[in-house]
Structure 1
Amino acid sequence: MRAVMMYGPGDVRIDDVDEPTLTRPTDAIIRVTDTCICGSDLWPYRGFNKITEPARMGHEYLGIVEQIGDAVTDLAVGDHVVGSFVASDNTCEICQAGYQSRCRHQVMMGGIGTQAEKALIPWADGTLVKIPAERTAAQNASLLAASDVLGTGWFAAVAAEAGPGKTVAVVGDGAVGVLGVLAAKELGADRIIAMSRHADRQALARRFGASDIVEERGADGVARIKEMTGGYGAHAVIEAVGTDEAMQQAIDSTRPGGHVGFVGVSHGVTLDGGKLFGATVHLHGGPAPVRRFLPRLIESIMSDQIDPGVVFDLTLPIERAAEGYRAMDERTATKVRLTFD
């Protein structure tokens, strides 16, 4: 079967690899119908995460169940499904508390690779959620977004305690950041400030509910947020980048007692303990427990209440995956969908 492989920085290829086989009774195998490239895939592409041997890529997916293990009880062959980028049993105490991304049996789907024609899904009953077989193209794209970037943006907004009466600032204008705007809007935030320098992403943020745009970064961006909030700072700030500058900007933009929801994959982030102590803010984040939110997100998508799938501004056949990686790296695309036609 065809699969996207990364051989090193900037070196993405399509290889023929063996099809997956069931290894545990709790597994399922799906035929992947939709997958995409994530901003986090760019870390190894840019050389920040070292690759010592060719690596399977991808962790976002829709699919159709082709095989199930003997212990799988909630799924049947032929079911259409979406799953999180973290496989989880959804029954342990951590999962039951709503943190399936830290399940005691977690398996990171990026280590399996879903930019491929088929994928093995560990803990299938806990990981996969059934979706309607009949859906529009727009709904299909939105369900694919729910597999990671929508669920991650949603968790960021929840972690930041976005809601009625709150001003929310969003640091990062990639797919997760703009979908954090959407989530904050759906959660009832009064004012949403998107921090972005790119006109196309500013327009997308406004489409999702941003009321204001701030183009400044770093200390200048913080000063602008403070100015817009009467000197206080935002009640809630979403950090969706993962760099030290972005984290510092998020913390400094938050008013005392406010909340930072951080979901950017951390690279080089350092926190000054004394400065953090003085900031008096809440920090909550990490790998998003997307599985917690999938039922609600699926319902909102299938009722056409939200349309997160518009973040996909480039669709390519899997054979052109390298082109998709390059487009996201060069910021000529926000999010790239890969097809198997």
Structure 2
Amino acid sequence: MKATFMYGAGDVRVEDVPDPVIQQPTDAIVRTVRACICGSDLHPYHSLPAGEGAKSMGHELIGVVEELGSEVTGLNKGDLVIAPFAFADNTCVFCREGVHTSCLHGGFYGTDETAGLQAEYARIPQASGSLVPVPGVGEDSGLLASLLTLSDVYLTGYHAAFQGRVEPGKSVTVIGDGAVGLSAVLAARQMGAEQIILMGRHRSRTDLGREFGASDVVAERGEEGIARVLELTRGEGSHVVLEAVGHLPAYEQAYGVVRPGGVISRVGVPQYESAPIGFGSLFGKNAALTGGPAPVRAYIKAAIPQVLSGEIDPGRVFDSTVGFDGVADGYAAMDAREALKVMIAP
């Protein structure tokens, strides 16, 4: 099969490798119908040292079940399934508490133990708890793009809004106009936010953000951006700030625009090890800080009917599609901001 590897910063290759096989009785083998490139994949694309071997890439997938381990239940061969970006048993204490990304028997793709999902076939550990079937939807459905977003990007944006306690009457600022930021806008609208300010400077993206529900767009950054958000919120700041970038300047903007007593919810994978939490940032405002890797498995069953009914259409974040031979070009296009989010269609 074809599978994607990264050998260093900017060095993405699609190679022929053996097909995956069942290793544990709780595994399933899934044939990829759609996969994609994540904004978080660009972090190693910028910084992965060369010479350390190949990194297996990808963590977002919908596919068809081809083979089941002897202990897998609740799934059948031929099911169209969504694979959340972290696998989990869905039964341990942390899964029962809704924190599937901390599952005692779970983990993440692209590690030494589990290959990435930008491949034609994938081995899914803990398949009974991880894979979610979508009955009645075939491989030719026009809903595949939106269903694919439920493996990560839309539900990561939803997680930001959920953790931030977005509700009717609240002002929300979303920092970042990438696919996760736009998904956070859509989720905040679904939760009834009164005002949604999107901080981003790429017109094609912020236009989609407006269609998803943003009431205002702020293109300025740094102190100018903070001043503009404060102007839009009568000098008070936003009740909830959803940070979908992961770099320190975005966090600094977040505590600059959060309202006293408000909440900052971060889902951008942090590219820094320390950040201010003192009097001038969080402490002085009585502001709360939350967020983290989205336990999308906790949200996915409720989101599927929203996609199937047309209530939400998060698949609009995909603006480019490639086959496996074009994956490296897809990375380059996203890195150059020539594409918002690239889908892989075998």
1:277-292 matched pairs, under 5 angstroms:
277-292=283-298
Identity, in percent, stands at 48
Quote the offset at 1:110 in angstroms.
Answer: 3.3
Quote the offset at 1:272 in angstroms.
Answer: 2.2
Q: Which residue of 1 aligns with 2:124?
A: 121
Q: Which residue of 2 aligns with 1:333?
A: 339
User: What is the rounded CA distance, in whole Å, between the counterparts of 1:241 and 1:273 in structure 2?
Assistant: 18
Quote the offset at 1:49 in angstroms.
Answer: 7.0
Q: Which amino acid aligns with 2:243?
A: E
Moved more, 225-234 or 274-283: 274-283
Whether the 8 Å CA contact 2:55–2:110 is kept in 1: the answer is no
User: Secondary structure of the residue that 1:110 maps to in structure 2?
Assistant: coil
User: What is the rounded CA distance, in whole Å, between the counterparts of 1:38 and 1:338 in structure 2?
Assistant: 11
User: What is the rounded CA distance, in whole Å, between the counterparts of 1:226 and 1:89 in structure 2?
Assistant: 44
User: What is the rounded CA distance, in whole Å, between the counterparts of 2:110 and 2:244 in structure 1?
Assistant: 19
User: Secondary structure of the residue that 1:25 maps to in structure 2?
Assistant: coil
2:256 is aligned with 1:252 = yes
Pick aligned residue for 2:210 from 206, 209, 232: 206
Q: Which amino acid aligns with 2:216?
A: D
Q: Which amino acid aligns with 1:258?
A: G
Q: Which amino acid aligns with 2:129?
A: G
Q: Deviations over 1:149-178 (max 9, x none)?
A: 001000001111111000110001000000
User: What is the rounded CA distance, in whole Å, between the counterparts of 2:322 and 2:32 in structure 1?
Assistant: 15
User: What is the rounded CA distance, in whole Å, between the counterparts of 1:222 and 1:6 in structure 2?
Assistant: 37
Quote the offset at 1:245 in angstroms.
Answer: 0.6
Q: Which amino acid aligns with 2:201?
A: R
TM-score (norm 2): 0.95
User: Secondary structure of the residue that 2:297 maps to in structure 1?
Assistant: helix
Q: Which residue of 1 aligns with 2:28?
A: 28
Unaligned runs of 5+ in 2: none
TM-score (norm 1): 0.97
User: Secondary structure of the residue that 1:45 maps to in structure 2?
Assistant: helix
User: Secondary structure of the residue that 2:23 maps to in structure 1?
Assistant: coil
Q: Which amino acid aligns with 2:127?
A: A
Quote the offset at 1:138 in angstroms.
Answer: 3.5
Whether the 8 Å CA contact 2:7–2:50 is kept in 1: the answer is no
Whether the 8 Å CA contact 2:36–2:61 is kept in 1: the answer is yes
Q: Which residue of 1 aligns with 2:133?
A: 130
Query: Hey, which bits of structure 1, 4+ residues long, moved more than 4 A?
Result: 48-51
User: What is the rounded CA distance, in whole Å, between the counterparts of 2:15 and 2:27 in structure 1?
Assistant: 24
2:67 is aligned with 1:64 = no
Pick aligned residue for 2:330 from 315, 320, 324: 324
User: What is the rounded CA distance, in whole Å, between the counterparts of 1:325 and 1:70 in structure 2?
Assistant: 37
Q: Which amino acid aligns with 1:129?
A: V
Moved more, 293-302 or 221-230: 221-230
User: Secondary structure of the residue that 1:75 maps to in structure 2?
Assistant: coil
Q: Which amino acid aligns with 1:292?
A: A
Whether the 8 Å CA contact 1:259–1:281 is kept in 2: the answer is yes
Whether the 8 Å CA contact 2:8–2:49 is kept in 1: the answer is no
Q: Which amino acid aligns with 2:329?
A: E
Whether the 8 Å CA contact 1:202–1:213 is kept in 2: the answer is yes
Q: Which amino acid aligns with 2:131?
A: L
Q: Which residue of 2 aligns with 1:77?
A: 77
Whether the 8 Å CA contact 1:44–1:50 is kept in 2: the answer is no
Quote the offset at 1:296 in angstroms.
Answer: 1.2
1:1-341 matched pairs, under 5 angstroms:
1-47=1-47, 52-111=52-111, 112-134=115-137, 137-268=141-272, 270-274=274-278, 275=280, 276-340=282-346
User: What is the rounded CA distance, in whole Å, between the counterparts of 2:204 and 2:213 in structure 1?
Assistant: 15
Q: 1:51 and 1:302, CA in 2 relative to 1: closer, same or farther beyond 3 A?
A: farther
Whether the 8 Å CA contact 1:30–1:121 is kept in 2: the answer is yes
Unaligned runs of 5+ in 1: none
Moved more, 262-271 or 238-247: 262-271
- Count of residues in correspondence between the two structures: 340
User: What is the rounded CA distance, in whole Å, between the counterparts of 1:43 and 1:265 in structure 2?
Assistant: 9
